[in-house]
Structure 1
Amino acid sequence: MAERNRQHSTLEKLEILADAAKYDASCASSGTAKKNSLGGKGLGSTEGMGICHAYAPDGRCISLLKILLTNHCVFDCHYCINRKSSNVRRARFTPQEVADLTISFYRRNYIEGLFLSSGIVKSSNYTMEQIVEAARILREECDFRGYIHLKTIPEADPELVHQAGLYADRVSINVELPTTSGLTRLAPDKDAKQIEGALAKTTTDIVEAKDAKKRFRHAPRFAPAGQSTQMIVGADKASDADIVGKASHLYSSYRLRRVYYSAFSPIPDASAVLPLKRPPLIREHRLYQSDWLMRFYGYAPDEVVQATDTDGNLPLDIDPKLAWALKFRERFPVDVNRANKEELLRVPGLGVTAVRRILASRRYRTLRLDDVGRLTQSITKVRPFICALDWRPVTLTDRADLRSLLAPKQEQLELFAV
Structure 2
Amino acid sequence: MRDGTPRTKTTFDKLAILADAAKYDASCASSGSTRRNSVSGRGVGSSEGMGICHAYAPDGRCISLLKVLLTNFCVFDCKYCVNRVSSNVERARFKPDELARLTLDFYKRNYIEGLFLSSGIIRSPDYTMEQIVEVARILREEHDFRGYIHLKTIPEADPELIRQAGVHADRLSINIELPTETGLRNLAPEKSGQTIRKAMANVRHGIDDLADARKSSLIRKAKSPRFAPAGQSTQMIVGADAARDSDIMQTANKLYAGYGLRRVYYSAFSPIPDASGDLPPLAPPLVREHRLYQADWMVRFYGYQTEDVVSATQDGMLDLSVDPKLAWALKHRAWFPVDINRASREQLLRVPGLGPKTVARILTARRHAWLSLGDLQRMRVSLSKVRPFVVTRDYSPGRLTDTENLKARFAPPPEQLSLFA
> TM > 0.5 between the two?
yes
Q: What is the 5 A alignment of 1:149-160?
A: 149-160=150-161
**Is the Cα–Cα contact under 8 Å of residues 28 and 150 in structure 2 kept in the other structure?**
no
Q: Is 1:294 aligned to residue 299 of structure 2?
A: yes
Q: Which amino acid aligns with 2:303?
A: G
SS in structure 2 at match of 1:249: helix
Q: In the aligned structure 1, how far is the partner of 2:80 from the partner of 2:381?
A: 40
Q: Give the equivalent residue in structure 2 for 1:401.
A: 405
Distance 1:56 1:284 in 2: 20
Q: Aligned partners of 1:360 and 1:95: how far apart in 2? A: 53
Equivalent position amino acid for 2:396 in 1: R
Which amino acid counterpart does residue 188 of structure 2 have in structure 1? A
Question: In the alignment, is residue 229 of structure 1 matched against residue 230 of structure 2?
Answer: no
Measured in 1, the distance between the counterparts of 2:169 and 2:96 equals 15
Once the two structures are superposed, residues 71-127 of structure 1 have per-residue CA deviations (whole angstroms, 9 ceiling, x without a partner) of 000000000000000000000001101100110000110001000000000100000
Alignment of structure 1 residues 12-411 onto 2, 5 Å: 12-27=13-28, 48-55=49-56, 60-215=61-216, 216=219, 217-309=222-314, 311-411=315-415
Separation in 1, partners of 2:212, 2:245: 36
Give the secondary-structure state (helix, strand or coil) at the position aligned to 2:10: helix
Aligned counterpart, 1:41: none
- Residue 273 of structure 1 aligns with an amino acid whose one-letter code is D
2:122 is paired with a residue of what secondary structure? coil
Paired residues of 1:350 and 1:376 also in contact (CA < 8 A)? no
The alpha carbon displacement at 1:8 in A equals 6.8
* CA-to-aligned-CA distance 1:60-79 (integer Å, 9 cap, x gap): 43211000000000000000
Query: Which stretches in structure 2 are left out of the alignment for 5+ residues?
Result: 1-6, 31-45
TM-score when normalising by structure 1: 0.92
Which residue of structure 2 lines up, in the alignment, with residue 40 of structure 1?
A: none
Q: State the Cα RMSD in Å.
A: 1.8
- 2:398 partner SS: coil
Letter in 2 for 1:334: V
CA distance in 2, matches of 1:337, 1:396: 20
Aligned partners of 1:264 and 1:279 also within 8 Å: yes
- SS in structure 2 at match of 1:382: helix
Q: Which residue of 2 aligns with 1:9?
A: 10
Quote the Cα distance in structure 1 between the aligned partners of 2:151 and 2:28.
11
Q: Which amino acid aligns with 2:306?
A: P
Mark the CA change 1:265 to 1:102 in structure 2 (over 3 Å): closer, same or farther. Answer: same
CA contact 1:210–1:221 (8 Å) conserved in 2? no
For 1:174 and 1:75, how far apart are their aligned partners in 2? 15
Q: Distance in 1 between matches of 2:361 and 2:420?
A: 31
**1:17 to 1:235, Cα distance in 2 relative to 1, 3 A:** same
Q: Following the alignment from structure 2 to structure 1, what is the Cα–Cα distance between the partners of residues 253 and 62?
A: 26
Residues 28, 52 of structure 1: alpha-carbon distance in 2 compared, 3 angstrom cutoff? farther
Change (3 A) 1:88 1:47: farther
1:256 Cα deviation after fit: 0.2
Which amino acid is 2:414 matched to? Q
Q: Is the 8 A contact 1:213 1:221 kept in 2?
A: no
Q: Indicate conservation of the 8 Å contact 1:51/1:63, yes or no.
A: yes
Structure 1 unaligned blocks of 5 or more: 1-5, 30-44
AA in 2 matched with 1:355: V
1:148 Cα deviation after fit: 0.2
User: What is the match of residue 33 of structure 2?
Assistant: none
Matched to 1:194, the amino acid is: T
Question: How many angstroms does 1:399 deviate by?
Answer: 1.2
TM-score (norm 2): 0.91
What is the percent sequence identity of the aligned residues?
A: 67
Counterpart of 2:115 in structure 1: which amino acid?
L
Q: How many residues align?
A: 396
Q: Distance in 2 between matches of 1:357 and 1:7?
A: 61
Compute the displacement of 1:351 (Å): 1.2
